[in-house]
Amino acid sequence: MPAARAEGDGPAVFDKADPPPARAEVPVAQEGERDHDRGTLSLIWENDVFAGTDRNYTNGLRMSYVSAPVDGLGDWHRGIAGFVLGAEGVDEVRYGLAIGQSIFTPEDIEARQPLPDQHPYAGWLYGEYSIFAQRADRLRLAALQVGMVGPSAGAETVQNDVHDLIGVAEANGWDNQLHDELAFSVMFEQRDRAWLTRRVLGPELDLTPHYGFSLGTLQTQAKAGLTVRFGEDLRNDYGPPRIRPAVGGSGFFEAVDGFGWYLFGAVEGRAVARNIFLDGNTFQDSASVTKRPLVADFQGGLVLTFGATQLSYTIVTRTKEFETQSEPQIFGSVSLAVKF
């Protein structure tokens, strides 16, 4: 072997018999670092037009941003994650910001008078801050939603402007909607990595449980559910994003080289103590119905990932949420997420 070069001796010279030093290979974990270190912007649209109806939960829009893992143990997001979620040094911590609007109407949108046996008119306009702590075997998240229920949420304007645009009759009963109220909800959820992971004829199959709860004047409930997925690159996310309450994913994903896909099915059960959209305003009389304490969502769909872009479609069947509801509700959810 050639002798070590002293500092200042000039360029190193190797004997022709000695091979040059091998170039250090980039660890696999760093190959996708350019994607891992980028945030995720998502846009979600949910509507019962996919089922040909216009009632109950009739429209939802949500735009969210989830950061890349934050740097530094002193980062204040990491401090919040440590206090709220018990995050430790091994956890990857992200934060999220979101804005959204949800719209609820009765089944008969032509009637102008109150309809005491149907879903009250209501709009919900909100902002959200969320925090995530992820490690190899689980994802924990907590979120705070704060916003306005009532006319100030702008639901009447949005719905009827869209109806005018597409040539559909306006909803006539918005004078009966819930009153203006500042509302909030604090949410916690944990998603564990798959109980079952195996390959079936090439693609992967996994089974992933989750559970959580929310507290607040908006909604107070506990939930638990299970998701089964079949496809490729399943460890790149925790399922597609959704608008709560829902069997939702994490709101972020890892990009793929080329193309990835999976099919999924999920079920979630919720024990509901409060739902302002059914129980009515917290501090004043308003329209309301008698809610059911147990509600379940059944959903299925497809997720496609093209490099740093992810597209998903979900069809949801939600069991009856109140006693006089005529039948379970079906609606669809479409989301587009981009790493940037």
Report the number of distinct structural domains present in the chain.
1
CA-CA-CA-CA torsion sign (299, 192, 187, 94): negative
CA gap 9, 99 in Å, rounded: 62
Does residue 146 surpass a pLDDT of 80? yes
Of 20 and 290, more confident:
290
Query: Model confidence at 340, in pLDDT bands (50, 70, 90)?
Result: confident
Q: Which domain range does residue 298 map to? A: 38-339
Looking up tokens 């509700």 gives: 329
CA gap 215, 271 in Å, rounded: 12
51 phi, psi to nearest 5 deg: -105, 5
User: Is residue 24 a part of any domain in this protein?
Assistant: no
CA gap 103, 124 in Å, rounded: 7
161 Cβ contact partners less than 8 Å away, ≥ 6 residues apart: none
User: Is residue 2 a part of any domain in this protein?
Assistant: no
Closest CA to 78 of 131, 134, 135, 140: 131
Does residue 255 surpass a pLDDT of 70? yes
CA gap 184, 99 in Å, rounded: 13
Closest CA to 124 of 172, 173, 185: 185
Q: What is the pLDDT of residue 14?
A: 36
Does residue 97 surpass a pLDDT of 90? yes
Q: How far is CA 99 from CA 44, 229, 248, 301, 339, in A?
A: 11, 28, 16, 24, 18
Q: What is the pLDDT of residues 28-60, one digit of tens each?
A: 334 344 456 799 999 999 999 999 999 999 999
CA gap 124, 102 in Å, rounded: 5
User: Is residue 26 a part of any domain in this protein?
Assistant: no
Q: For residues 229 and 208, is the Cβ–Cβ distance under 8 A?
A: yes
The letter for the amino acid at 71 is: D
CATH number where 123 lies: 2.40.128.140
Query: Model confidence at 223, in pLDDT bands (50, 70, 90)?
Result: very high
Alpha carbons within 13 A on the beta-carbon side of 12? 13
Does residue 252 surpass a pLDDT of 70? yes
Q: What is the pLDDT of residues 291-323, one digit of tens each?
A: 999 999 999 999 999 999 999 999 999 999 999
User: Is residue 291 a part of any domain in this protein?
Assistant: yes
Q: What is the pLDDT of residue 36?
A: 64
49 phi, psi to nearest 5 deg: -60, -25
For the entire predicted model, the pTM comes to 0.87
Q: What is the pLDDT of residue 19?
A: 44
User: Is residue 181 a part of any domain in this protein?
Assistant: yes
User: Is residue 12 a part of any domain in this protein?
Assistant: no
